[in-house]
Structure 1
Amino acid sequence: MGEPNHSPGKELQHWTQAETPGKKSWHSQAYALGAISNFMSTFLTFPIYKVVFRQQIHAVAVSEALRQLWQEGPQYFYRGIYPPLLSKTLQGTLLFGTYDSLLCSISPEGPHSLGHRWAAGLMSGVVEAVALSPFERVQNVLQDGRKQARFPTTFSILKEFNSYGLWGRLSLGYYRGFWPVLLRNSLGSALYFSFKDPIQDGLAKQGLPHWVPAMVSGSVNGTITCLVLYPLIVLVANMQSHIGWQSMPSLWASAQDMWDTRGRKVFLIYRGGSLVILRSSVTWGLTTAIHDFLQRRSHSRKELKD
């Protein structure tokens, strides 16, 4: 008999299929593991988030952003961590949990093909966009330095949105820029889940420690996904920075304005994106490695009990 295939993707499919039909233990575990892995990776990479945030607010170089943080002292190093920690933990909960639930619904018996993973990833990205778009909308207004005087706090932004009618709260308020958010999140999720296991499986065959294939797979996926979808990230930031009842540019007008203001050159759209792409690479590398580690620990304990 040949050696059994212990690649991460094959093990995940085996664990999923091994659950007793009708039980929800695997699905609830998927939500919990997604929450924990995103919580831990966000905490570890928060310094990168903070440097990027300073660049977005003050339009300064990396060196200047680092100098500001150094001068403020270590007691303020993790100031402001709670909003991204909350949103990223919720993102991980939804992304990994809904993906696993949807994948098992699409293909209950397995094996899970590329098409199955793509469809489940696409739909989990849709769920994520619907749930988290309002958080991103408020965060982008807060990060716009031109609006600090008018909207100094989250409460002031929410008060403005709630002063609109029902349709205005959705289209002009909480879900401004929703369509590019939906496209970015659904495609990003589909790309991540479609190619995570193949890359991880290929590296696992080289006899590397379990955490190395997981981290490399997550980093490669995070980098490629962010690189491909970065124009949508810029478009979302520009659309969601608008606020108020004044005439807002449409999706097409916003895209045209972004293209024109960047001299109609693709490389200018990517200006300032190096840290964002680096952050995505590190964050998704850590998230995937932590998620894989926790998943293995959980199933090892379960097998010992059984």
Structure 2
Amino acid sequence: MFLYQYFKKFDWREFVCGYGAATINIGVTYPIYKMIFRQMLHGDKVTSAFIQMKHEGLRYLYRGMLPPLAQKTISLSLMFGIYDGIKKNLQVEFELDPYTSKILAANLAGTCEAILIPFERVQTLLADSKYHKYFSNTPTAFRYVWTNHGFMEMYRGVAPILLRNGPSNAVFFVLREEASEHLPKTDNIAKKAAQEFFAGAVIGATVSTIFYPLNVIKVAMQSEMGHKTQGIIEVFLKIYRERGNSVRHFYRGCGPNSTRSFVSWGIMNAAYENLKTIFYRY
């Protein structure tokens, strides 16, 4: 009976709206992600990354999009759906205050998203030019990694992802709901959509910038294959030394990444709210 009452508070519409918002976003922003990825991995300047991708041509522009499409759609579906369900349970069943329930629910939702790490793992391999000759497509990459290196290789880079997912979710949801409460109320559809876009954009870009170093470490970890995984501190120090002992160089790609996050989270937030309007109408 308790389990029934617990899961009853999970609303399928939250999962569907998160899934739809992620689908719209990935189709628009994937080429920008790919350029940022090259900067994260090699420390290249934006012009160098752009020229490299230009030389590779359209054939490779959307290469590796299937893993983030699968990962992001499921991830956003879980993020919004699990967060909403857990938050309601914490507030109703355990009578926790709103902020505590939001933070706990967001962290738990972020931890659940970590089951999708294999998609990030394969996406990294497909986006890295040094693996172009080894993997022709997503299924080939999955099969190669699984067959030659085993199950745990699919979860390389789990530590920085866990450190990133929960706290970043908490910051995002708390700020997003604060913005929703304090923004001017309007019945104008265009104005409402613009507010939703800019609220999501500013919050998403801020969160992305705060947690950018963890993504750099994650990419460095996941760009390797087969040998023993190094720890977070070890990888951080390695990157730091390779980039001239400069913390500033550690943030290469952060500018374009913040721009992409601004557009990406703006699209996702606006799409999510509009999808909610449609699904909650019935």
Aligned counterpart, 1:13 = none
Aligned counterpart, 2:154 = 174
Instruction: From 211, 216, 219, give the equivalent of 2:201.
Output: 219
Change (3 A) 1:71 1:160: closer
How far, CA to CA, are the matches of 1:190 and 1:47 in structure 2? 28
* Paired residue type of 1:241: S
Identity %: 29
| Structure 2 residue matching 1:204: 3-state secondary structure | coil
- Between 59-68 and 106-115, report the one with greater CA deviation: 59-68
* Paired residue type of 2:193: W
How far, CA to CA, are the matches of 1:192 and 1:241 in structure 2? 28
| Structure 2 residue matching 1:264: 3-state secondary structure | coil
Aligned counterpart, 2:219 = 237
- Between 145-154 and 233-242, report the one with greater CA deviation: 145-154
| Structure 1 residue matching 2:11: 3-state secondary structure | helix
How far, CA to CA, are the matches of 2:40 and 2:203 in structure 1? 24
Q: In the TM superposition, what are the counterparts of 1:248-259 in structure 2 within 5 Å?
A: 248-259=229-240
Alpha carbons 1:126, 1:182 under 8 Å: kept: yes
Aligned counterpart, 1:102 = 86
- Between 203-212 and 275-284, report the one with greater CA deviation: 203-212
Change (3 A) 1:28 1:248: closer
- Please state how far the C-alpha of 1:258 moved relative to its aligned partner: 1.9
Say what the alpha-carbon RMSD is for the aligned residues: 3.3
How far, CA to CA, are the matches of 1:219 and 1:286 in structure 2? 8
Aligned counterpart, 2:29 = 45
| Structure 1 residue matching 2:183: 3-state secondary structure | helix
1:91 is the counterpart of 2:69: no
1:298 is the counterpart of 2:274: no
- Between 64-73 and 35-44, report the one with greater CA deviation: 64-73
Change (3 A) 1:69 1:232: same
* Paired residue type of 1:220: V
Q: In the TM superposition, what are the counterparts of 1:140-155 in structure 2 within 5 Å?
A: 140-151=124-135, 153-154=137-138, 155=140
TM-score normalised per structure 2: 0.82
| Structure 2 residue matching 1:216: 3-state secondary structure | helix
Instruction: From 188, 191, 195, give the equivalent of 2:175.
Output: 195
Alpha carbons 1:54, 1:60 under 8 Å: kept: no
| Structure 2 residue matching 1:291: 3-state secondary structure | helix
Instruction: From 199, 204, 215, give the equivalent of 2:184.
Output: 204
How far, CA to CA, are the matches of 2:160 and 2:238 in structure 1? 15
- Please state how far the C-alpha of 1:50 moved relative to its aligned partner: 4.5
Instruction: From 89, 102, 105, give the equivalent of 1:117.
Output: 102
* Paired residue type of 2:234: A
Higher relative contact order (CA 8 A, sep 6+): 2
How far, CA to CA, are the matches of 1:78 and 1:156 in structure 2? 15
Instruction: From 35, 38, 51, give the equivalent of 2:19.
Output: 35
- Please state how far the C-alpha of 1:41 moved relative to its aligned partner: 1.8
TM-score normalised per structure 1: 0.76
- Please state how far the C-alpha of 1:101 moved relative to its aligned partner: 1.3
1:185 is the counterpart of 2:170: no
Change (3 A) 1:152 1:57: farther
